[in-house]
Amino acid sequence: MAPRGSTANEKDPYPPAGPASHVVAISTESGIRRVSCSGGRALSLHVLGGVVPGIGIANVLAAVWAVAPPVVTRARAARERRWKEGKLPGRVSMASATRHFARVATRTTARNAFAVAPRQAFRQQGRRWYSSEPAQKSSSTWLYLTGAAAAGGLGYWYYTASGAPSAASTKVVNPTKEDYQKVYNEIASRLEEKDDYDDGSFGPVLLRLAWHASGTYDKETGTGGSNGATMRFAPESDHGANAGLLAARDFLAPVKAKFPWITYSDLWILGGVCAVQEMQGPIVPYRPGRSDRDVSACTPDGRLPDATQGGDHLRNIFYRMGFNDQEIVALSGAHALGRCHTDRSGFEGPWTFSPTILTNDYYRLLIEEKWQWKKWNGPKQYEDKTTKTLMMLPTDMVLVQDKKFKPFTEKYAKDNEAFFKDFSAVVTKLFELGVPFAQGTEGQRWTMKPTWDESK
């Protein structure tokens, strides 16, 4: 199933923000006017859902001047309100703090809460509506000149307040651990901005993006892996296994714009590291050094696991990357997070009762719960007999059906610390597959500090 919104354009769909094109969005009581200026030459006015190219600069500036003062006032008020609410990077809102404490509590109680009602799977998606009105006319030369000043000031405010890269961020040449920590913190600050996305966190889909970007590696040919971030391009973005990952790439786009010095491939992996750690998982050492590649480096379809298959298929996929049976079982523990979607994989539902908290519940449920085939019109999947709200895939059930996989599944079901230790090691290995790191950097992995860690 191809992801919605995929692009076949070989050009980078998420270029870093720069001076080549500026858009000033002017919000008024009656709608939105937008003035676009490309390279300081061609201007166009976006009104009534259309574009009027080559419109006179006088009319454009008059329109800007007419609405600039109230817009700036409202913008300042909105920004001050966001600071007070703690929604700007570097601050923690009360809602986020409440969710954090709830997660800690969930982590200690979810293992004994098979009967606890899970969050609703249905998430209503809102739609954004736009309206516009024609620009005001004016023949005053003074109005045009002062309007130009207002446009410049408003454009500068909009460009800086919207998270565009500052001069300081674009001058990073040899990024340090502290520079990557800032990127990590930015990602963490955005994870729970939208309560209506899945279970309230983008963490699971970021981990899936990092895993799918890395899981294409072939040790025999040396192709694939996280180096390159080739999922930016079709056909790789259209592979069925990557359906739904446009949401993760779009989520990271403003982070890339704010920190243009980081490569997409390093950013995607850092997003996966951040997701694991911010969802109460183990520390995952991070080593940067990946480079971005073009569409010619896209990998063929079929390198990622097919959830409908059995043990032989799993071994073929993971052995190709260089993993053994124990590592296959440990890496499967990522299914403790997130859920399946019918419009992506075709399957539906979460694996655990706490899909935004990483624990060993995935293994405990596999061992202790009784599972049955789900009666529905979708692909074959299992559901728990107790609540009928959880699901397991055929590839999940293989971990208890296969005599070589099962001992590791039982081990992790009994020992969360053992799972964390092995999960951290195997995820670190996965994220570095096929990356041509500089010689001598094997032991130079960095520990990114979780934002919930208050120790110095």
Cβ within 8 Å of residue 155, ≥6 positions away: 22, 24
Backbone angles phi, psi at 392, to 5 degrees: -135, 145
SS3 280: coil
Element (H, E) at 382: strand 382-384
Question: pTM above the 0.85 mark?
Answer: no
Which pLDDT score, from 0 to 100, does residue 170 have? Answer: 54
Who wins on pLDDT, 279 or 455?
A: 279
Q: What mean pLDDT comes out for the span 207-231?
A: 98
* Residues 129, 55: Cα–Cα separation, whole Å: 25
SS3 76: helix
Say if residue 131's pLDDT is above 60. no
Rounded-to-10 torsion of CA 37, 42, 45, 51 = -120
Beta-sheet strand order (sheet of 50-53): 21-28, 31-38, 42-47, 50-53
Confidence of residue 268 (pLDDT cuts 50, 70, 90): very high
Active site residues: 212, 351
Which pLDDT score, from 0 to 100, does residue 455 have? Answer: 81
Which pLDDT score, from 0 to 100, does residue 441 have? Answer: 81
Show me where the domains of the chain are located.
Answer: 1-13+173-456, 21-123+134-163
115 phi-psi bin (left φ>0, alpha ψ -120 to 50, beta other) = alpha
Q: Is 180 exposed, middle or buried (0-12, 13-18, 19+ CB in 10 A)?
A: buried
Architecture in CATH for domain 1-13+173-456: Orthogonal Bundle (1.10)
Would you call the peptide bond into 235 cis, given omega within 30 degrees of 0 as the criterion?
yes
Token pair belonging to 201: 């966190």
DSSP of 218-232, one letter per residue? Answer: BTTTTB-SSTB-GGG
Which pLDDT score, from 0 to 100, does residue 69 have? Answer: 44
**Shortest CA distance to 21 belongs to which of 35, 5, 7?**
35
What is the percent of the chain where pLDDT is above 90? 59
* Residue 46: how many other CB atoms lie within 10 Å: 17
| Angle of the 246-258 helix axis to the 264-278 helix axis, nearest 10 | 110
Which pLDDT score, from 0 to 100, does residue 171 have? Answer: 67
* Residue 257: how many other CB atoms lie within 10 Å: 18
Say if residue 122's pLDDT is above 70. no
What is the percent of the chain where pLDDT is above 70? 62
Q: Would you mind telling me the total number of residues written for the chain in this entry?
A: 456
DSSP of 176-218, one letter per residue? Answer: -HHHHHHHHHHHHHHTTS-TTSTTT-SHHHHHHHHHHHHTT-B
Q: Is 314 exposed, middle or buried (0-12, 13-18, 19+ CB in 10 A)?
A: buried
Give CA separation, 174 vs 171, 177, 275, in Å: 9, 10, 25
Evaluate the CA torsion angle 170, 172, 178, 181 in order and state its sign: positive
pLDDT in tens, 175-212: 999 999 999 999 999 999 998 899 999 999 999 999 99
Which pLDDT score, from 0 to 100, does residue 260 have? Answer: 98
Lowest mean pLDDT among 44-58, 207-221, 235-249, 433-447: 44-58
Say if residue 311's pLDDT is above 80. yes
* Residue 73: how many other CB atoms lie within 10 Å: 10
Average confidence score pLDDT of the chain: 77
